[in-house]
Amino acid sequence: IINDSEEMKKIYYEIFGIDSKVIAYGSNEKIIYSNEYLNVLNIKPRDYYLVVGRLIPDNNADIIIKGFLNSNSQKKLVVVGDVPYKDSYSIKIKNTNDQRVIFTGYIKDQDKLSELYRNSYVYVHGHEFGGTNPTMIKALSSGCAILALDTRFNNEMLNEGEFGIFFKKNFQSISAMIKYCENNSKKIKSLRENSINGITDKYNWNYITDQYIDVFKNLIFRN
């Protein structure tokens, strides 16, 4: 079994009694120095929070939106993502009636997505399961300040708070942390400047490729 998280490795062993090899996702982020897409959305740099992910319960967009609105922030909340089907959860989220919340749907153009990451005030990561998520890697490599759900996986990815700050799984915690972010602009700036350091060698594609080759060689020799 190959996974991308030391925490997932522990879980595999705890549940199945199986050891596994940890291989991370890679990062090859191209920074886009443009505000063109921001102009289309009528938003300004550092004047919005960003959420990226499928609109499913595990990603907690509903809690993030409710917490954001209850914080009375005057910034925007840009929600990137959708689901390729109709269900009550995603429909309810997209029916949020507040001009501060902007739904973009899926964004396949990576330049536009990079622009949104780079210019955000804070990237909010609500993913609950699944180990290291590519959206978190993109946020780190784009130089985002990160506010993440307090999980084992996210703590591992952000090195226990070195590269981000955390919220609990309730809208009150989100509200409190949004207020904290807006009252501590120096802290947010510091996180933004430091986040790229979270992209360590294990996210280098050459290093990742070498690890896969080693795994395949071991499998061949084992058989």
* Three-point CA angle 130, 58, 5, nearest 5°: 15
**pLDDT value at residue 1:** 40
**pLDDT value at residue 2:** 40
Q: How many CB atoms lie within 10 A of CB 2?
A: 11
Instruction: Report the alpha-carbon distance of residue 112 to residue 167 in Å, rounded.
Output: 27
**Helix pair 171-183, 185-194: axis angle to 10 deg:** 90
What contacts 31, CB < 8 A, 6 or more positions away?
A: 114, 118, 142, 143
> Which among 153, 157, 129, 156 is positioned nearest to 141, based on CA atoms?
157
**pLDDT value at residue 11:** 72
**pLDDT value at residue 21:** 76
**pLDDT value at residue 131:** 67
Q: How many helices (H) and strands (E) does the chain have?
A: 10, 8
List average pLDDT for each run of 10 residues in the chain, which is 223 residues long: 59 78 69 88 98 96 98 97 95 96 96 95 92 86 96 90 97 98 97 91 79 85 71
